[in-house]
Amino acid sequence: MIETDVLVIGAGPAGSAASKHAALGGAEVILIDKKSEIGTPKRCAEGIYDHGLKWLGIEADPQWAVQRINGGTIIAPDRTRLSLDETVLPEKGYIIERKVFDKYMAMDAARAGAKIMVKTLAKSIMRGADDEGSFFIVDCEHIGEIIEIKARIVIAADGPESRIAKALGINSTTNLNDMMSGVQYEMVGVDCERMDLIELHLGAFANGGYAWVFPKGDDIANVGIAISSRSKKPAIDYLNEFIDSYPPLSNAKAVEINVGGDPIGGLIERIYDDNFLVCGDAAGQVDPITGGGIILGMLGGMTAGQVAAKSIKEKDYSKKRLEEYAVLYDKHTQGAIPKLKIARELFLSLNDDDLNQIVHAFVGLDYRNMDLKDVLKVFLKISPRLALKFRKLFKIIF
Ligand SMILES: Cc1cc2nc3c(=O)[nH]c(=O)nc-3n(C[C@H](O)[C@H](O)[C@H](O)COP(=O)(O)OP(=O)(O)OC[C@H]3O[C@@H](n4cnc5c(N)ncnc54)[C@H](O)[C@@H]3O)c2cc1C
């Protein structure tokens, strides 16, 4: 049997962040992943923002930060383009290469002291106790062999619908209405207007979601769509229709296809228990509007790792001690996930006419010095109904 203070299950961005920070806090850490190659296959459009990297204390590395992004373009159902570029948005970001990024994050965890075990599948989890207190025994299949890992704290970072959390009686199932079905091609031969702006295409054609073109340098881009999992047709049909209808993609050819579910229903019922923490997609640490979960998940991982290390030092692995994780996560994110969930409901209530009118109204405005009141005045010009909806939303968010 292998013994450790902290066992992290899943070497995605959240699990690597948890491992790194638990190790930096002085805990003995093992990070396992069932895959033989961390980061592959990717299930991601690969967009991240600068202030997220700053929260995490990570410097962008040209090995994985492959395209600088200076803003975005919102494209209305009638294809009117609203540019939110560097002249109006202070926020910048990157399109990353997840296959390299995820591996680099795991390497950072290893450099901090974590032991990494790839091709190691956690199969079952059992509670136990000895003179030093409670622990878990996790049965794993490691390169064809069954091994046992004993850990005082287990951090589940095993992706959407965490099986590990479920095995401990925590409801990690995502309601079908809250699971977006994502599909994407990485394409070459894409004719983007600007390679440093992401494109977000809105409208009923995306059935409860949106389509995107995220440039990756040269003539390469991730072109994808996320639709409601309740859709009648498979997501790939929606994506192919979008590509056929969008002239900048008329010569684009796919070199890779990525599929995955994106849980946008908000945090699961409980993200901590005795000897146990959950982070990343497994915990629902995903932006309910964009489906982005790299930064929010890593922030969860970082916080979980820090709290786990403190608990190990204090030899207190109780639910009461580990609650600090949930409190700190809420503080770090300023309760953003529940607020964004409400905003998502509002966006879902907008039809194509509403979206067209909103985009038309904002095109050409100089919004650099606009405050919320000015924005509401624009909505009021479109319709009092929309102004009322957005006023309610702003009250909740700000
Ligand atoms: C189509 C699509 C596009 C997206 N685009 C973006 C985007 O542009 N920006 C963004 O921020 N987010 C995006 N996301 C979301 C983002 O990909 C996820 O939020 C992110 O990967 C979550 O990281 P994680 O570490 O929680 O989980 P994951 O990256 O899913 O990692 C979980 C790991 O756990 C391992 N694992 C699972 N079970 C076990 C087990 N029993 N034993 C051992 N290992 C196990 C898996 O092999 C995996 O490596 C997108 C998602 C989809 C589906």
Quick one: 70-92+176-263 is in which CATH superfamily?
Answer: D-Amino Acid Oxidase, subunit A, domain 2 (3.30.9.10)
The residues spanned by each domain of the chain are: 2-46+98-174+265-333, 70-92+176-263, 339-397
The pLDDT value given to residue 368? 76
- Ligand 1 pocket test, candidate residues 158, 161, 228, 337, most atoms within 8 A of CB: 158
Of 281, 286, 290, 337, the residue with max ligand 1 atoms within 8 A of its CB, to mutate for a pocket test, comes to: 281
pLDDT tens string 203-259? 999 999 999 999 999 999 999 999 998 888 999 999 999 999 999 999 999 999 999
| Domain range 2-46+98-174+265-333, CATH architecture | 3-Layer(bba) Sandwich (3.50)
Residue nearest to atom 45 of ligand 1 (CA): 10
- Residue among 33, 186, 298, 337 whose CB has most ligand 1 atoms within 8 A, to mutate: 33
Q: What is the 3-state secondary structure (H, E, C) of the chain?
A: CEEEEEEEECCCHHHHHHHHHHHHCCCCEEEECCCCCCCCCCCCCCEEEHHHHHHHCCCCCCCCEEEEECEEEEECCCCCEEEECCCCCCCCEEEECHHHHHHHHHHHHHHHCCEEECCEEEEEEEEEEECCEEEEEEEEEECCEEEEEEEEEEEECCCCCCHHHHHCCCCCCCCHHHEEEEEEEEEECCCCCCCCEEEEECCHHHCCCEEEEEECCCCEEEEEEEEECCCCCCHHHHHHHHHHHCHHHCCCEEEEEEEEEEECCCCCCCCEECCEEECHHHHCCCCCCCCCCHHHHHHHHHHHHHHHHHHHHHCCCCHHHHHHHHHHHHHHCCCHHHHHHHHHHHHHCCCHHHHHHHHHHHCCCCHHHCCHHHHHHHHHHHCHHHHHHHHHHHHHHC
Given a cut of 90, whether residue 120 has pLDDT beyond it is: yes
% pLDDT > 90, the chain: 90
Q: Whose CA is nearest to atom 44 of ligand 1?
A: 33
- 337-346 tens-digit pLDDT: 999 999 999 9
CA-121 nearest atom, ligand 1: 42
In the predicted model, what is the mean pLDDT of residues 189-213? 95
Predicted confidence band at 365 (pLDDT cuts at 50, 70, 90)? Answer: confident
pLDDT of res. 370: 85
Please state the atom number of ligand 1 nearest to the C-alpha of residue 35.
47
